[in-house]
Copies of this chain bind each other. A is one copy, B any other.
Amino acid sequence: MAESAAGEATPVAQTSSAWLDVVGRRCLAEAWEFAAARAAEHFAGRAEGLLAETALPDFVAGGKCLRPLFAYVGWCCGKAESDAALRAAASLELLHCFALAQDDVMDQSPVRRGRPALQARFARWHADQGWRGSARRVGDSAAILAGDLFLVWAEQMLRGSGLDPTALARGWPHYDRMRSELAVGQLADLVGDARALPSWETALDVLRRKSGNYTVRRPLEFGAALAGCDAAGLDRLGEFGGLVGEAFQLRDDLLGVFGDAAATGKPDGQDLREHKASSVVVLAARMAGPRQRAALAEVAAVEDVDDGVVDRWRGLIVATGARERMEELIRERTEKAIAAADAAVIPRHALGLLAELATRSTERTR
C-alpha cells in the first residue's frame, strides 16, 4: 500500500500527505480505543471513575500522532504495511499522553490543546464535589497517576499489538532507550530551566535529548527495528531523524515564543511567561548587541510576565535577528535531512513519506 500510495500518477508529496492523514487517524482511533477499554476495565462503577473513565480517553483525543507516524513510516522502510505494526506504532501516542499529563503538572500549565489540562480537570471536579482537602493537590496527584497509567498502557498495547515476539524483541532496546531518554531529558530541562541562561551548545543538547530524539529519531528507529531493518538502514534513518528532530524542536521553541494561542492551544508566549531558557531565548542573547542584551535581561527579570511584557520581549528577540536565524536553522536541518534520506538504503516508497513528515514536523503552526 505504501507503494501504491506513493505511485507514479500523482505527485508524491500530495499522495504521501493523504496517506499520512489516514494512518494518523487510524493510529489515534487505536490509541483511544485501547485507553477507553482499559479505563472502563479499571474505573467502571467507582466514585473517582466517573471522571477518570472519560477524562483519560478524552486526553488521548486531539493528538497529532506524530510519533506513531514516524514509527510506522520506519516500519514501512523494512516491511509491507500491517495492522499489527500500526497498533504497535499507535502505542507511542499513549506514551506521549504519559509525558504530556505529567509535563502539565510539572509546568503547572492549565491548558492543553485548548482545553483544561488533566490536573485542572481533576482539580475542578474535586472542587465541584465540595470535598475537603486541597483541590490542586488532588488534581496534581490524579494527573501524575493518570500519566503512570498511560505509561503502563502504552507498553501493554505494544506487547499486545499482534507483532510476533521476534519483531518485538528487536524493538524493546529502542523502546526502553526512548522512554528512559524522555525522563532523563526532562530532568535536564528542569535544571536548564532553573539555571542561568545556558550556552547555545547546551541548549541544543537539551533540545535534542528532551524532545528531538523522543519525537522523531527514536520512533523512526524503533519502527524500523521492529521491521528488521539492518544496521546501515537504522544508521541512515537515525541521521535523518536526528536532524528532523532538532528542526522539530526548534520550531516548537519558536511556537513557544511566537505561536498563536488559537492555533497552539497554549497561552501566547508561554515559554516567556515561564522564563524557559529555550533555544530561541538563548540564541537571542547570543546574537544581541550590548544594548539589546541589557534590554533582554531587563524583561527576563520581570517576575510576572503579562501580555505587555510578552510583546516587548518578542520585539526584542525579533530585533536581534534570532527569529529569522531560527527559521534558517530549521530549513537547513530539514533540507540536510531529506538529502540524507535520499540514499540507497531507504526504500523508494518510504522517501516521499519521510520528506512529507519532515515538512509537517517543521513547518507546523501548532
Seen from chain A, the residues whose Cβ lies within 8 Å of a Cβ on chain B are 38, 42-43, 46-48, 52, 98, 102, 105-106, 126, 129, 131-133, 137-138, 140-142, 144-149, 151-153, 155-156, 159, 165, 172, 176, 179-181, 183-184, 186-188, 190-191, 193-196, 275
Contacts and interface: CB of A to CB of B under 8 A. Distances in A.
Contact of A194 (B43, B131, B145): B131
A195 B47 CA distance: 11
B151 A176 contact: no
B152 A180 contact: yes
Nearest to A198: B47
B165 A52 contact: no
A281 to B, nearest CB: 14
A98 B124 CA distance: 27
A144 B195 contact: no
Q: State how many copies of this chain the complex holds.
A: 2
B106 A149 contact: no
A148 B149 contact: no
Contacts of A131: 191, 194-196
| Interchain residue pairs A-B with the least CB separation, the first 3 | A133-B194, A106-B141, A48-B191
Contacts of A105: 144
Given A42-B184, A133-B194, A145-B190, 14 more contacts: A42-B181, A47-B195, A48-B191, A102-B144, A102-B145, A126-B191, A131-B196, A133-B275, A138-B190, A142-B187, A146-B187, A152-B180, A156-B176, A165-B165
A186 B48 contact: no
A181 to B, nearest CB: 8
